[in-house]
Structure formats: structure tokens, C-alpha cells
A and B are shown apart, each in its own frame.
Chain A
């Protein structure tokens, strides 16, 4: 027996109901509901062909986000409004975005096109004055193998021109029927009901719970110790499930626990709730202002669609050796707040215990990340990957410096990803730098120290030699950036 959930949501303005099996993806559900435009291509959020606009009430505002339906848990469709390409227009009555793609020959085989339409749609709905750079950034997560993107860019230029010159009004981009769906969702959020269903015994998952409170999560964790997987964003867990067919018996999804999604900035501490998405963190003013390295890291993490789902806490909890967020957070001396029987705060550096091994009990939940706000003289992040964007790093690094008035280093932190089983601090280099001045001798000495501190492995993202070289050169690049910064 498995626990199925009765999803109620709006699809292109119409209320739909669907009984979903646990850990089904939104893409599967949409296709079963007859949505043709949302394509399955990679099943791992890397191509954007299944991009949908997902809207819901959050903090008394109804907002749409572009997300990849293939790694979005179906449960999260509940109480949302989903807009897909077929909702925007029909061949006889194209939406202005569809029109501009059509006119500019920006579709060839057509398989990626609906996803591209949706990415552009969400961009302009949220940011009517978007420019070409923002347009391209919004589409970094949409692969196209036919067009070479030039015609898409030309369509973007035409669209931006039409919007900026007043020929098109972006407020008309949102279909009229959207309002009634949004209103219906505000006035009577539908309860989520579950029931039991008989399935063949090979069905891998027994339940997927959309948790409503921390208490609920903790009691489930306690009751089913070790058999429950917590889902924050799910962008890694659903890749595991879709591509590698690795499932967990029970999932508990914490993304709808509102108190966990709060980002709050105090005088000297930034607290990021466990379910705050990367996009939400990115748009928080304090992050851009006071933690430029974190901003850079997240800005270059995956694609718009994934940043709208994934969380920083999940990035840490997933324990990947190359997690961009974790590398960054290590350097800005983050504290992980964990709730179980009691609440405890531990430094991130003692959170990692080995390859994919964490200082976290099966009955505990990461609730927040706490980042001290300091006056850094430098706080920078560098990532090297095969591709400039939407790629996993060969090596990434984060470096912070605080310097006193006469130029001596008061504190230095340096963290690397991709150099050992988990993101790690270059402790010897950090110690060495204390009290030193930033001169050529210091710089060349640290390069040798840092290179000796790690023995990276060879894999598809880079050989041992390449990674060793990058460890040295990243540090040099940080120093060069500091030089540039001081010259400005």
C-alpha cells in the first residue's frame, strides 16, 4: 500500500484535480493531464525543456517562477497556478512572446521551444524592464541544439525593443484568466487529502508528505528514524530518482513550512531559513551588499529554473564535495542551526565528516544557516568549470580578508570545493596569512602552502593535475582581484 495525495491546482486558469503517487514529478502529472508542451528531455533539470510558470501565494503576494517540472515534486503543484505554453496562446492567436519567437525564426525542431517561451514569459512578468543580458541569463537553463541561439537573441532584442518603446505592454503578458485562478487560490486554499492505494510491490516509494510544521517533521523523523528523506528543494533527490532510479521509502517535504523560508538580517548576522530558495537569497539586498562572494556563488549556481527550487541548506545537506554554496559558506564562517531533541548550532567546518557524511542525526533537521556579517576588505568567489554557466565546478574557491589600517592581515578564510571528499578550508594558508602584509613574497609563499594542502582526485570534471593547478591559481586570482579592487 502506498499513500497517494489528492492534488488540487489550477492549470492554465482551470481548476484540476489529480491523484498523485508519492514522489511523482510535476512533469509526469502534467503530461498525464494532457499537457503537450512540457517536454521530457533530460529528467535532471539541465535542459529547461519542461520549464513551466509556477505561481502561488507566498508572503501575501502571488508570484510566478520558472521551474523545471522534471525535478519538481508533484506534491508542490498543490494550491498553485501552473501556466504552460499552450495556455499563453493558440496558433491562431499567438501570445506576444510566441509571436516574436515565431517571427524571428527562433524555433527549429520545436522541442525546446515551449520551455524557452515559458522562461521568457516569467522573466517579463517579474521584470518588465528586463534587458538583453537579463534575457540571456534567464535562458541559460534552456538548451537548444538547433538554433545556435542567435535567432532567439534577435527575438529577445525585438521583444525588448517593443516593450521599451511602448509597442507592447507587459502587463498584458499575463493572460486575463490568471486573476481568477489566483483569487480562487487566495480565498480557499484547498486541503491536501491522502488515501491509500494498492500498487505493484516494485513501486519504490510509500509516501511523500508535504509537511506543514517543524513539529510534524520532527515527529515523523522520530517515528520512522532512518527511513525518511527530508526534501528541501529536491533538485538533487529528484535527479537521483529520475536518472539513477534511487528512491527513498518515505519523503517529507519541508518546502511549504513558511517559517523555514525566512531570510532575516540582523546587525551582525544573516539568518537564512532552510527552505529559502537560491533565488530568494540572491534577491535579498543584504546578500549583495555584505556578502558579495555568496552573491557571486549563487548567481553562478545552475540556472534560473533551479535557483527557483533549490535551497542553500539543501546544497549543504546533500554533502556534495563540490557544492558551490557550501564552499562559499565555509569561508564566510557559517553556522548550521539544527533542530532535533534540542536545538544546536555547529560551525559548517565541523558539519562535514567524510564523503557524503554529515554531523547530523537521522532525527534532526537543518533549520537555518547563520552567517556573520563582517566588514570584509575582500570577499570573493571563483568557480572554474568546463562551461561558463550551468555547470558543476572543477574547482571553486572562496576567499575573505580583513586587514587592519597598516595593511596587516587580521583574518583570512579560504575554502575550496572539488579538492577532497567535501568542501574544505585551507587552514594552513589561513594561519600563514595572519599578520602578514599582502606583498609578492606573501603571495608566492601562500601558493605553495595551499597546493600542498590538498590531494584532489581525477574524474570527468578534471584531472588531479588540473585541480592542483587550479588550487594554486585560484588563490593567485583572488590576490589579483584584491589588487584590482584596491586600485579602483
Chain B
């Protein structure tokens, strides 16, 4: 039986609690924020006079009220003020905190704050940043082979540019934090964050307190997708500051529009590529420069750029490669983590280059992809060996499952018989590296207590945000201790029970915390096994050995053959009265993760997750609208902890990728303001955008390169499958003139972008 969502029954009854919704403390104060009205400006003055007379007003806090260090950046070399004192760097940057007795009064007071600015010219685009040399660091480089020679040895080469757009996370629960002062000057933060230890460290730094005076508790998040990895910290710190000053509980809860305006997005990239290949479709060399729009502060831009670089080979062996990355600083809200973390932006550029190679050679792109796919023993441009031949296997499975050649024939026939509608097929493989590229983050801890009645409390460092890390962790502990999952209560994530946690990110939540659970549960099992030996001797006069004791079905058996058993609870009680420590801490770090940034070489990943997917799109040549007709996904699941949870992750990631490459568009105006700031203007897929013809095959052959109990991480890798629809649209447009090497399809391919590409191609056709 597949275990169900641990909180599933609560969710469907609407009984699950989220921060700031119910059970609020007495005397709760509310926050409204004053936001910068410019993307780039000097703050000349902030006058709160008119706000102070608003009924219910409590206080107005600015940078001057920060007792500690005014810096929320978590890296060593960064500086990002919680509240800027002299200069605002993006439109919507918080500059003042209004605390009042209720939300309406806080909002009214915030409207009455008068801020004088001196407007400065903003830098908004990658082009402008490059022109001015606004880079966060020296370019990052990965190189292998000999690029010049690679081009010289190639029959052909193609070059071009590829741009990707921003994407809003649109987690349903907006950013929020409830801050409650403690009696010793400390503060407890109930924050909607993926990184509770970062929130703890930063809030303590802001308040000038030692870290132990700030504790963070996280029950669950209403979605995050990377948007609450680094970007929950600012809101938690603002709430902490208000609680610290007022010594009352304070709630900061953004509304949807504030969240849209003020938080970072997926990084837009602008990439320049050049690819060299032979007439048979073999790729000799690939060179790419990646430019990312990092926004106003570093945030996670460098790590995101690195992941984009590490994924620029994607699933293909490239003997000669040069990947260079430039993270650009602009006056947009700091762009941030978003499922895939730069990889999609690198990957789609590579896939586009490969598509062009296929078009140029007049071959089906799937043939080029198969021909260049990694095989066992080949190394990536950064020197990591690919140890299993999974990539090619995924392609073969996809071809069979989709009946690819028949499908291609059907699509070609459709296109011959339809004047105003065209279909296309997009194929994209998956190869996603698992581990934090910041190596030190690859560690996890848990704390387990078995109570004397045999019930179990488990705290781990992962954050539950819908991905069901809690379900998986409970399964692991239940499996080790041979108990039913109901016996285990997964506690809220809390810095008091599990300290120094890594963000629940990089798809590693169940890997690192799962292994730590395995560690702690195994320690407890050993202690209980020793006690079981005593128990069976005393009660049944049976001699057994600790290693022979079996824990299964909430019972403990003396060994595999005899029928002597006691209940798990009975043994636990026995162990307690015989002075056994029934609490255990577990710890894990991912071995062997290293990277030398100077050389651009190392092993940044523990393993890869592979896959392949196909989409069929139909476009309307008169309006540019499209319909996703069919999806086929083959996913390398290894030995999943919970196959249905994993399939939910794959479906969800696909939909986000699909939105990213099609309808999700975030234009900005010349003042650096996002123009789509609510779900009425920013469109994400609905239930009707996902086709009924949707096949998912999880290949469950246990791999040697995998994580806890043979499982593989699943959060981010499948997002790449969602980019196949873009390639399918491209293919449909190209059917108008298969000879053309000049198809200009934007990413995201909105209906307008599709119609523009169609019309350009037609105009070019006419001029022949």
C-alpha cells in the first residue's frame, strides 16, 4: 500500500493550520509596510507625522531602529539591508514598518508616511547591466577539451542567442511571519520559510542577539517552490524587529499584490551559444555564455548561475566545451531560487541549439539527442563521471511508450491536411544533478523520541511544503522500527529541536533528512534490540541475539523462525524501566561533494536523475493560441520511497515548466515595475490546460547511484519535462517551412509570441 499524505485528511477538511490564520495570540499587532516607489533612488527623508495620528497606530520602524547589523544577506561577502537607509535598489523594497492595532489602521498609517526621494536612473535589463559592468562576481567558467580545435574539426557550426523570461512562484500562501516575544528578550518566529536556520541566524543578527535567543518554528507551508528559500527571511526579520520593539506578538502577512511586486522571481537569462557538429549529427563542441538578471541584491544568484552552468551540457556528452556565466546586478527585486534553480535556463538553450542542429541537417531532433546522449564512463565538462547508462534507456523507453515514429507520421499527416492549424512534437531528456552545489549544505539532522507508550515523536530539518517530506521521513522511521506510520508524529520543524539546518531545497529534503532519520532510527533499534534480548530471556526464557531480533508490524520478534513476540509498546516500556535512552539524534552528510571554482572542476552532485519526455502541441495560425494534446514522460525513479508522492511531484513540476515556457509572462515597465501583479494578469495553468492524454512511466529499477533506501530526489528534475511543449510549438511553427533556419519563437511562447513567429516565418517565405 502506498502511504498517503500525512496531513492529507486535515487538508481535505480544511483543518490544517497555516501561519497567521487561526489561533492567534492575544494583543496581536499588525504590520503594513512602506515600499519604495522607485526602482533606484536616494531616500531624502521619511516623515511619519501624519501616520502617527491614525487611530490604532503603534510605531513606525525604519533602518534607524535596527539594534543589530542591518544586513539580511546570508553569504559572507554580501550586504542586503533589511531596511535601506540611504538608497532604494528596487521598486517595492520595504523601507518602513508600520505597526498598528489592526491591519486597516496599519495600512492607513502606511499610506500617510511621506517619503522624499531623489530618483536615480535604474538599470533593468541584462544588456544595460553588461554595458555598465554590473556583475556580482568575476565570470564563472567551466571548460574541457579544446574549443578552437573543436570548431576547426567540425563540419558545421551554428550560433545565436536565447532569452528566457522571469517566472513568479505563485505559492498559494503568501509570505508571512508571526513573531512572538519571549520573556528573556528573545523572540519566537512562526515563519513561512524553507530555511528556518537562515531566518534564525539573520533575525538574531538584525536584533543584535545571540542565535539561541531566536527560535523558529515551521509547521507547514502553503507552497514555496524556492520562493521561500532566501526570500522568507526579510519578512521574518521585519516581524521580529516589530515584536522586539513592541514586546507584543506581531503578524506580517503580505497580500497577493505585495507578494507579486516585492519578491524575486526566477532569473531571466540571456545566453549566447555556438555549437560545432559533424554531418552525422555528432556534436564536437558547445560554447555558451550565460547572463542572468540577478536583481538588486545577490540573493542566490551565484549558486543559480552555477547550476545553470553545470547543466549546460544537459544530457549530452560534449568533448570540447566552454561555459561562462555572468550574474548581472539590476534594479529589480532580487531574483531568487525557483524549482530548477537555473538549470532550466541553461538546459533550454542547449536544447534549442540541438534543435537547430537537427533542422540544419534535416534530421529528426530525437536522433541528434540519442546520438549525443551520455553513455557510461563519459565525463561532464566539469569532470564528473556519468556512472550509469540511464539517459539512453530513457530515450528508448520514451520512443516505445509514445510510439514515436507512428506519432511523427500522424503529426505530419495532420499538418498536410490542415491549413490553419499545425501540430508539432517536442522531445526533451532530463539529467538533473542532485546535491546543494554549496557543498556544506549537504547535511541533515533529526531528533527522535520514543515515549513509554510506544508512540514516537520525530523532528527533522526538512520543511513540509506539500512535497510530503514528512510522509517520506515517517515511512523511513516506520520501516526501520517495524511500526505502522500512525505511531509516528512528525513535529513542526523547529530550531530548538533541530539546529543548523540546511534549507529544504535543491530537491534534497528527503535525501539528507531521510538518511539522518535512518541513522537515528537505527540507533534506537539497536538499543531496543539489546533490550529485546533481555526481554525474551526474562519473559519467555528464550536466548536470542540483538541482530536476530526482528521489528515488524508493530511487534518485536525474538528471531525469524520462532513465534515469540511482544508488542512494540511493551518492549519500549520494558526498555524504559531498564534505563534505556529512548531519544536519538541522527546525522548525515553527503559524501564526496567537492568543487574547485578556479579550475571549474569537481563533483558537485551525488548522483543524477534521468528522464525523457514528449509533448504534442497544436497551434492556431490565426491567433497563436495552442492546445497541449499529449504528454509522455519517462522518469528514472530508482526505488521510490513513495511512488504516488513522486508522481505528484512529476505532474506538478511538469505544469510549472509548462507555464514557464508558455503562458507565464512578467513584463516590466521602464520604471522597473512588474506589470502582471495578480492572478488576473499573470496566468498559470488551470486544470483544463493539462491534457487527458498524459502518460507517466516511473522506471523503478534500483540504481547504484541513488540516495536513501535506493530512492532518488524528485522535486526539481521533472520541471525540465515541462519545457517540451515549447519545443513542440517550435516544431509546429517550423512545419510551415522546414527549410528555414530562422524561426524566432520567444520564451515564453505566449499566443502573441507564437503568432509573431508564424508571421515572421511567412514573411520570410514570401520573400523567397
Min CB gap A283→B, angstroms: 20
Does any Cβ of A come within 8 Å of B494's Cβ?
no
With a cutoff of 8 Å between Cβ atoms, the chain B residues found around residue A47 in the complex are: 172, 679
- Cα(A42)–Cα(B652), bound, Å: 20
Establish whether residues A473 and B663, one from each chain, have CB atoms under 8 Å apart when the complex forms: no
Min CB gap B571→A, angstroms: 28
- Give 1 or 0 for each of A437-472: 1 = CB within 8 Å of chain B CB: 000000000000000000000001111011001100
- Cα(A477)–Cα(B220), bound, Å: 49
Interface members, chain B 631-647 (any A CB < 8 Å): 644-645, 647
Does any Cβ of B come within 8 Å of A328's Cβ?
no
- Cα(A470)–Cα(B468), bound, Å: 45
Establish whether residues B18 and A111, one from each chain, have CB atoms under 8 Å apart when the complex forms: yes
Establish whether residues B648 and A108, one from each chain, have CB atoms under 8 Å apart when the complex forms: yes
Does any Cβ of A come within 8 Å of B688's Cβ?
yes
Establish whether residues B687 and A153, one from each chain, have CB atoms under 8 Å apart when the complex forms: yes
Establish whether residues A86 and B15, one from each chain, have CB atoms under 8 Å apart when the complex forms: yes
Establish whether residues A145 and B684, one from each chain, have CB atoms under 8 Å apart when the complex forms: yes
Establish whether residues A110 and B694, one from each chain, have CB atoms under 8 Å apart when the complex forms: no
- Cα(A375)–Cα(B225), bound, Å: 54
- Cα(A132)–Cα(B225), bound, Å: 29
Max chain A C-beta neighbours (<10 A), residue from B2, B255, B667, B752: B752
Given A46-B679, A90-B15, residue A110 in contact with residue B687 (CB < 8 A): no
Establish whether residues B14 and A113, one from each chain, have CB atoms under 8 Å apart when the complex forms: yes
Interface members, chain B 208-235 (any A CB < 8 Å): 220-223, 225
Establish whether residues B13 and A86, one from each chain, have CB atoms under 8 Å apart when the complex forms: yes
Does any Cβ of B come within 8 Å of A20's Cβ?
no
With a cutoff of 8 Å between Cβ atoms, the chain B residues found around residue A426 in the complex are: none
With a cutoff of 8 Å between Cβ atoms, the chain A residues found around residue B4 in the complex are: 102-103, 105
Establish whether residues B466 and A388, one from each chain, have CB atoms under 8 Å apart when the complex forms: no
- Give 1 or 0 for each of A78-89: 1 = CB within 8 Å of chain B CB: 000000111011
Q: 11 other contacts beyond A37-B15, A105-B644, with CB at 8 A cut-off?
A: A47-B679, A88-B13, A94-B9, A105-B647, A105-B648, A108-B467, A110-B16, A141-B686, A148-B653, A149-B687, A476-B622
Establish whether residues B12 and A43, one from each chain, have CB atoms under 8 Å apart when the complex forms: no
Establish whether residues A202 and B105, one from each chain, have CB atoms under 8 Å apart when the complex forms: yes
Given A143-B686, A389-B686, A389-B688, residue A85 in contact with residue B13 (CB < 8 A): yes
With a cutoff of 8 Å between Cβ atoms, the chain A residues found around residue B420 in the complex are: 477, 480
Min CB gap A91→B, angstroms: 4
With a cutoff of 8 Å between Cβ atoms, the chain A residues found around residue B751 in the complex are: 384-386, 394
Does any Cβ of A come within 8 Å of B656's Cβ?
yes
With a cutoff of 8 Å between Cβ atoms, the chain B residues found around residue A111 in the complex are: 18, 171-173, 222-223
Does any Cβ of B come within 8 Å of A425's Cβ?
no
Given A44-B680, A462-B752, residue A36 in contact with residue B15 (CB < 8 A): yes
Given A85-B14, A86-B13, A111-B172, residue A148 in contact with residue B690 (CB < 8 A): yes
Interface members, chain B 33-78 (any A CB < 8 Å): 54-56
Given A105-B645, A243-B678, A386-B663, residue A36 in contact with residue B466 (CB < 8 A): no
Nearest residue in A to B173 (C-beta to C-beta)? A111
Given A139-B687, A394-B751, A466-B752, residue A86 in contact with residue B14 (CB < 8 A): yes
With a cutoff of 8 Å between Cβ atoms, the chain A residues found around residue B656 in the complex are: 145, 148
Does any Cβ of A come within 8 Å of B161's Cβ?
no
With a cutoff of 8 Å between Cβ atoms, the chain B residues found around residue A183 in the complex are: none
- Give 1 or 0 for each of A356-395: 1 = CB within 8 Å of chain B CB: 0000000000000000000000000000111111111010
- Give 1 or 0 for each of A34-49: 1 = CB within 8 Å of chain B CB: 1111110111101101
Q: List 20 A-B contacts (CB under 8 A).
A: A39-B172, A85-B14, A105-B644, A108-B466, A111-B222, A111-B223, A114-B13, A144-B172, A145-B652, A146-B223, A147-B655, A148-B650, A148-B652, A149-B655, A150-B694, A200-B108, A202-B104, A388-B627, A394-B751, A461-B681
Nearest residue in A to B650 (C-beta to C-beta)? A148
Interface members, chain A 125-143 (any B CB < 8 Å): 132, 136-137, 139-143
Does any Cβ of B come within 8 Å of A217's Cβ?
no
Establish whether residues A386 and B750, one from each chain, have CB atoms under 8 Å apart when the complex forms: yes
- Cα(A200)–Cα(B14), bound, Å: 34
Establish whether residues A200 and B55, one from each chain, have CB atoms under 8 Å apart when the complex forms: yes
Establish whether residues B108 and A202, one from each chain, have CB atoms under 8 Å apart when the complex forms: yes
Question: Which range contains the number of B residues in contact with the other chain?
Answer: 35 or more
Establish whether residues B221 and A109, one from each chain, have CB atoms under 8 Å apart when the complex forms: yes
Does any Cβ of B come within 8 Å of A349's Cβ?
no
With a cutoff of 8 Å between Cβ atoms, the chain A residues found around residue B680 in the complex are: 42, 44, 46, 239, 392
Does any Cβ of A come within 8 Å of B198's Cβ?
no
Nearest residue in A to B644 (C-beta to C-beta)? A105
Establish whether residues A203 and B679, one from each chain, have CB atoms under 8 Å apart when the complex forms: no
Establish whether residues B689 and A117, one from each chain, have CB atoms under 8 Å apart when the complex forms: no
With a cutoff of 8 Å between Cβ atoms, the chain B residues found around residue A42 in the complex are: 256, 678-680
- Give 1 or 0 for each of B662-688: 1 = CB within 8 Å of chain A CB: 010101000000011011110111111
Establish whether residues A149 and B681, one from each chain, have CB atoms under 8 Å apart when the complex forms: no
With a cutoff of 8 Å between Cβ atoms, the chain B residues found around residue A477 in the complex are: 420, 622-623
Min CB gap B723→A, angstroms: 14
Given A91-B15, A148-B652, residue A107 in contact with residue B5 (CB < 8 A): yes
Does any Cβ of B come within 8 Å of A229's Cβ?
no
Nearest residue in B to A132 (C-beta to C-beta)? B692
- Give 1 or 0 for each of A390-429: 1 = CB within 8 Å of chain B CB: 1110100000000000000000000000000000000000
With a cutoff of 8 Å between Cβ atoms, the chain A residues found around residue B170 in the complex are: 143, 145
- Cα(A201)–Cα(B104), bound, Å: 11
Min CB gap A53→B, angstroms: 13
Does any Cβ of B come within 8 Å of A8's Cβ?
no
With a cutoff of 8 Å between Cβ atoms, the chain B residues found around residue A105 in the complex are: 2, 4-5, 8, 644-645, 647-648
Does any Cβ of B come within 8 Å of A159's Cβ?
no
Does any Cβ of B come within 8 Å of A112's Cβ?
yes
Min CB gap A102→B, angstroms: 5
- Cα(A152)–Cα(B688), bound, Å: 12
Establish whether residues B652 and A146, one from each chain, have CB atoms under 8 Å apart when the complex forms: yes
Min CB gap A358→B, angstroms: 23
The residue from B11, B54, B665 contacting A386, defined by CB atoms under 8 A apart: B665
- Cα(A476)–Cα(B689), bound, Å: 25
Min CB gap B8→A, angstroms: 5
Does any Cβ of B come within 8 Å of A164's Cβ?
no
Does any Cβ of A come within 8 Å of B759's Cβ?
yes
With a cutoff of 8 Å between Cβ atoms, the chain B residues found around residue A144 in the complex are: 172, 687
- Cα(A38)–Cα(B13), bound, Å: 10
Does any Cβ of B come within 8 Å of A98's Cβ?
yes
* Interchain residue pairs A-B with the least CB separation, the first 9: A37-B14, A109-B466, A110-B11, A148-B655, A111-B222, A108-B466, A148-B651, A114-B14, A85-B14
Nearest residue in A to B14 (C-beta to C-beta)? A37
Establish whether residues B623 and A136, one from each chain, have CB atoms under 8 Å apart when the complex forms: no
Nearest residue in B to A46 (C-beta to C-beta)? B679
Does any Cβ of B come within 8 Å of A330's Cβ?
no
Min CB gap A446→B, angstroms: 15
With a cutoff of 8 Å between Cβ atoms, the chain B residues found around residue A461 in the complex are: 681
Min CB gap B20→A, angstroms: 10
Establish whether residues B12 and A102, one from each chain, have CB atoms under 8 Å apart when the complex forms: yes
Min CB gap A207→B, angstroms: 17
With a cutoff of 8 Å between Cβ atoms, the chain B residues found around residue A85 in the complex are: 12-14
The residue from A46, A117, A150 contacting B651, defined by CB atoms under 8 A apart: A150
Min CB gap B85→A, angstroms: 28
- Cα(A388)–Cα(B623), bound, Å: 12
Establish whether residues B21 and A112, one from each chain, have CB atoms under 8 Å apart when the complex forms: no
Establish whether residues A140 and B687, one from each chain, have CB atoms under 8 Å apart when the complex forms: yes
Max chain B C-beta neighbours (<10 A), residue from A105, A149, A480: A105
- Cα(A92)–Cα(B13), bound, Å: 10
Establish whether residues A153 and B692, one from each chain, have CB atoms under 8 Å apart when the complex forms: yes
Interface members, chain A 471-486 (any B CB < 8 Å): 473-474, 476-477, 480
- Cα(A469)–Cα(B676), bound, Å: 23
The residue from B5, B173, B667, B692 contacting A102, defined by CB atoms under 8 A apart: B5
Interface members, chain B 157-188 (any A CB < 8 Å): 169-174
Interface members, chain B 586-642 (any A CB < 8 Å): 622-625, 627
With a cutoff of 8 Å between Cβ atoms, the chain B residues found around residue A108 in the complex are: 5, 223, 466-468, 648, 652
- Cα(A151)–Cα(B646), bound, Å: 12
